[in-house]
Structure formats: C-alpha cells, structure tokens
C-alpha cells in the first residue's frame, strides 16, 4: 500500500508513534488509509452540513475495512461573494483547492481519497486534484438545496437576485422582497437551480468520478447519507482494484460530459472547468468541440434559471442517468467508458428510463435541437466567448445595438440601477477577466438586475468576466482576449454597434480593421487593481478564459 511509506518498517517507528498520538491502534494502521477531504465551513450554505456527510463517508470506509483520515480544504460561497471585491477570489480559489489537496495527499501518502465538495469552484478543484494525483478517488457532493416556496411557486436564489431589479423598477414592493428573502433558500445544499455547483456535481457523475445520484439527490435526503456511505465503501474497493482516475477520465468521458452539459443547459462556467480538469488529465478540450457537440445534441432540460424546474424535479424524473439514457437513443453517449463504481456507463444505464417527460423531454420533443451552450467568435472574441443559449429569449438570439461601455461591474450596476440603460443597448463590462479583475468576477448582479427590471429581452450584456449559473438573458461572457491583454473589447467606445448572432456563433463590433488597429495602438493597459497578496501571483500566472483560466506551468 502507498501509505506503507509512512507506517511500515523499523525506520518508521517514529511515524507510528505519531499515529498513536492520534489514538490509532495497530489494526487501523494495517488497513488502507483513505483521506477524506471535507470542504465544510460555517459560511457556505452548501457546505454547512458536510460534517454529517463526512461522518457517513467514514462509516462506509470502516465498513469496507479501511481507515478514514479526515482533513479540510477551503470553500467560497459565490452568492455571498457576489457584487463586491470578494468575487475576485472565487475562481482563484479553484487552484488553491487543488493545490491544498495535492499537498496533503503527497505529504501524507494516502492509499485513496474521498473528496467532499458541493459548491462552485470546489467541485472542479477537487476533480483537478484527483486527476493530478491519480490516486484511487471518488467524489461525493453534499447535494442540492431544495427549492423554496413563495406565494404558491417554487423559488431559488436567482429569484431573490432578480427581485432587487424588480424593486428598483417599481415592479415589486419592499414588503414582497422581504417575504421572498425569508423563503428563497430554505436550508442546506447547493442552490436549487442548474447553477454552477449543481452543473458540476451532475457532470462529475457523467464523467464517471461519482456514483449515480451524486448530482441530484437532495442535501436533506437520507439517500444522500446512504450515497456517502457507499462512496466510503467504494473508496476502499478502488484501492484494492487499483482503479485510478486515469482509467476513467479519458477523451470519451469528457465528450460524454460535454454532451450531457448541452442536454441539461448547464452553467457557462463549465466551459472554464471541464477544460481545466481535462488539462490535469493530459487531455486538451478545444472550444470549437463544444459547438460541434452542441450542433448534434438536443437541449432536453430547462431548469432554473432557464425554466421553472429545479434539481429536485430532475431527480424525481430519473436524474442524470435518465438524461444519459435518453441521449443514448441518438447514440450520443459512449457506453464503454469506465466509471468509479467499476461498471461501464452502459452497465450503469441498463434499465434506466425517464420518469417525467415534463422535466426531461424526449429526443423527439426537445426544447431545441441544439445544445444549451454556444461558443461565439468574431472580431470582438477571436479566441471565443460563451453564452447559455438555452436561457436566452428567442428574440435576443440575434441582436444589434449600441455599446454602453463600463470598466468595472460596479460602474455598470450603478448605471443599470440609475435607469441609464435603455431598450436595445448592449452593456459592455470589461477589465473583469482572469488577469484584469483579477479573478474573473461573476456578473450575476447586473444580469439579474436587468432581468428583474424586465430588460432581459431587450438588452444584451457582454463581458470578459463570467456569469453565475443563475444568470439568464443574452449574457455573453469569457470574451477572449480579455481587455487587460489588449483584446478589442478594451477599446470599444459608447455607441459602437455590437452585432450578436448566437445561431451563427458570431460576436462582432462594427469597427473596421484599420480603426481597431489605430485604437489599439493608442491603448495602454491600466494600473493593476490589486498590488499585494495571492491575487497578484494569480494574475501573473493565470491564462485566458479560452484555456479554462488554468495557471501557467
């Protein structure tokens, strides 16, 4: 066993003594040591209950004859970090999650790992670590939050963000938003829609690194604890079978992941995270592959914010296995890929069917014949930009309008709140990319405010930053190259006409090549916004959003 390096032989007597200081007995040291990576903290609603999940995991490890050893990593709540400087740290935390797990698992050579994430950057961070370390590993998330109930309808955090704009526009009273505030988030779990956390937890299941049910079993369900026990049991078996991520995370697994991504209409952040995870596994995902897959993959689900269903509804309809089973009817899923439970995808899907075609549409009756995400290119984004096509109103799939240019999220929000944005405008928020922000902040506050004010069907928003999975509307992010690296977005001016053609994957500014060269020749990069701490190092090392915002080697 790998852990023998710190517990076997005469020269390891001091090490065994340290284990005994922890209360270990010889019998525990003779078993496989399974690291249980817990991202619990008391500031993230999605992680508040992870002590319970970890205890269930550890019970499973012991049942299978292993010895669990729990250690922590960090987690940022994107909702709480939203709209202020704290959001600069959200994407940047992904690398820290991966690095801290690497440090702990290499300094203390565990035989296998169970990784317990729940929210946005923690899931991909843990998957990156699993791919990098290539130790037998299984992911088990804390599960999704239940939808809240307000005035007879299901609601989630996206509704309360949009309510702010509704109050500003006089479409909702202060008393109504106060009532919604009490009910939108009813308890623990990752926020209830197909936002980034749930997108990544669902795709972890598709990639084969989590047991079936990981993406959709509610956080409050006893089935979530049972799943955690099974993950603990499975971790010990993985060690004995020597089944490692490198045998699971192959090209076909990522193609399956992107395919289900399109069918579900996941968060645009998956376009950052899947390439970053693939990079750790030694696989390159080109952005154009996303459009190729999207062209042949029907969009089968419209979950919040794109529709009225939530993750609990998806679970009741059969969950991720049902979505995959439906896609097999078009031969879109590779059935031979190995999964963490030791079975192939095909074996996992045997006998699975959709239980509610109102939530998961059939391939004959999709919401659209193409997938939920699209990569746009053009003179404004030669290296690509991304839009959640399934959450765009049909009338905004093609749009041309004058740019309203802002150099920060705060400037844009002030203008939106101040009623300065009019029908037809294209709001441009720049210097919010991986380097420029630094940290590539999410723009949920401006997008949700526009939606709450009823402008999501008449106003587009483009940015070199990114969006929360809770954003909807013609919200185009990840514009690359970003402004801080001299992309054309850096020299846009108020009134420049922006042409958006999502159906044809185009994003262009009506600026001649000569004019663009002239403007860029006169452009000077701004002074860094952050001059000390982790973000300075991050800004120096981070690459473009088009590469998954990975760090330079």
What letter does residue 185 receive in the DSSP assignment? -
Strand pairing report for 137-139 and 67-72:
unpaired
Tokens standing for residue 266: 């996941």
**What is the length of the chain?**
553
Q: Which residue has the tokens 């060690």?
A: 239
Q: Are 255 and 334 in contact (CB under 8 A)?
A: yes
Can you give 398-420 as a three-state secondary structure string?
Answer: EEEEEEEEECCHHHHHHHHHCCC
Q: Please tell me which residue in 39, 468, 475, 544 is annotated as part of the active site.
A: 468
Whether 125 contacts 102, CB under 8 Å:
no
Cβ within 8 Å of residue 350, ≥6 positions away: none
SS3 percent helix, strand, coil of the chain, rounded to 5, is 45, 15, 40
Helix (H) or strand (E) holding 155: strand 153-155
- In which residue are the tokens 């922006």 written? 498
Say whether 138 sits in a helix, a strand or coil: strand
Separation CA 200–CA 218 (nearest Å): 15
**Distance (Å, rounded) from C-alpha 39 to C-alpha 117?**
6
Q: Cβ of 225: how many Cβ atoms within 10 Å?
A: 19
* CA proximity to 195, closest of 221, 167, 215: 215
Strand partners, 507: 500
Q: What are phi and psi of 408, to 5 degrees?
A: -165, 160
Residue 17 known to be catalytic: no
Report helix, strand or coil for 349: helix
Q: Find out whether 282 and 247 touch, Cβ atoms under 8 Å.
A: no
Rounded distance, CA 50 to CA 56, Å? 10
Alpha carbon distance 68, 63 (integer Å): 11
For 66, the token pair is: 């292993």
- Cross-strand pairs, 461: 427, 475
Phi and psi at 287, nearest 5°, equal -60, -30
Write the DSSP assignment of 333-348 as a string of letters: S-TT-B-TTSSBHHHH
Whether 260 and 537 have beta carbons less than 8 Å apart is answered as no
**Eight-class DSSP state of 466:** B
Nearest-Å Rg of the Cα atoms of the chain is 23
Catalytic residues: 468
């Amino acid at each position: 066993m790998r852990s023998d390096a710190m517990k076997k032989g005469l020269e390891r007597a001091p090490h065994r003594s340290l284990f005994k200081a922890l209360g270990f007995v010889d019998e525990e040291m003779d078993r496989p040591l399974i690291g249980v990576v817990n991202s619990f903290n008391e500031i993230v609603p999605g992680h508040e209950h992870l002590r319970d999940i970890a205890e269930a995991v550890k019970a499973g490890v012991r049942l299978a004859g292993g010895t669990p050893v729990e250690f922590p990593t960090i987690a940022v709540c994107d909702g709480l970090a939203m709209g202020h400087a704290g959001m600069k740290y959200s994407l940047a935390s992904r690398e820290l999650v991966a690095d801290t797990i690497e440090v702990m698992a290499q300094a203390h050579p565990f035989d296998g790992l169970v990784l317990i994430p729940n929210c946005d950057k923690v899931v991909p961070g843990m998957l990156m670590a699993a791919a990098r370390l290539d130790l037998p590993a299984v992911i088990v998330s804390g599960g999704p939050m239940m939808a809240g109930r307000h005035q007879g309808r299901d609601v989630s955090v996206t509704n309360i963000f949009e309510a702010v704009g509704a109050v500003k526009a006089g479409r909702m009273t202060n008393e109504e938003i106060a009532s919604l505030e009490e009910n939108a988030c009813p308890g623990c779990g990752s926020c209830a829609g197909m936002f980034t956390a749930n997108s990544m937890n669902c795709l972890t299941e598709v990639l084969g690194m989590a047991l079936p049910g990981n993406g959709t079993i509610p956080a409050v369900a006893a089935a979530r604890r049972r799943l955690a026990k099974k993950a603990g049991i499975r971790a010990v078996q993985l060690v004995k079978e020597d089944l490692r991520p490198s045998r699971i995370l192959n090209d076909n697994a990522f193609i399956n992941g992107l395919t289900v991504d399109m069918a579900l209409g996941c968060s645009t952040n998956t376009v950052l995270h899947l390439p970053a995870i693939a990079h750790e596994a030694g696989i390159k995902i080109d952005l154009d592959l996303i459009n190729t897959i999207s062209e042949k993959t029907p969009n089968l689900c419209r979950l919040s914010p794109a529709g009225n269903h939530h993750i609990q509804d998806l679970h009741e309809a059969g969950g991720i296995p049902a979505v995959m089973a439906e896609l097999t009817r078009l031969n879109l899923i590779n059935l031979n890929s190995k999964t963490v439970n030791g079975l192939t995808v095909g074996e996992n899907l045997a006998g699975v069917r959709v239980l509610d075609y109102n939530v998961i549409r059939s391939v004959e009756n999709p919401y659209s014949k193409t997938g939920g995400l699209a990569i746009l290119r053009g003179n404004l984004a030669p290296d690509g930009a991304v839009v959640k096509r399934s959450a765009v109103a049909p009338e905004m799939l093609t749009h041309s309008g004058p740019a309203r240019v802002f150099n920060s999220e705060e400037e844009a929000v002030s203008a939106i709140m101040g009623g300065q944005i009019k029908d037809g405008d294209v709001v441009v928020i720049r210097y919010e990319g991986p380097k420029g922000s630094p940290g590539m902040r999410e723009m949920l506050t401006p997008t949700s405010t526009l939606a709450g004010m009823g402008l999501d069907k008449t106003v587009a928003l483009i940015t070199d930053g990114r969006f929360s999975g809770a954003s909807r509307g013609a919200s185009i992010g990840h514009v690359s190259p970003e402004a801080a690296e001299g992309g054309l977005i850096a020299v846009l001016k108020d009134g420049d006409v922006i042409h958006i053609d999502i159906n044809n994957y185009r994003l262009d500014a009506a600026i001649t090549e000569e004019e663009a060269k002239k403007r860029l020749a006169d452009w000077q990069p701004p002074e860094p916004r952050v001059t000390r701490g982790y973000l300075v190092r991050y800004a120096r090392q981070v690459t473009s959003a088009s590469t998954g915002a990975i760090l330079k080697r």
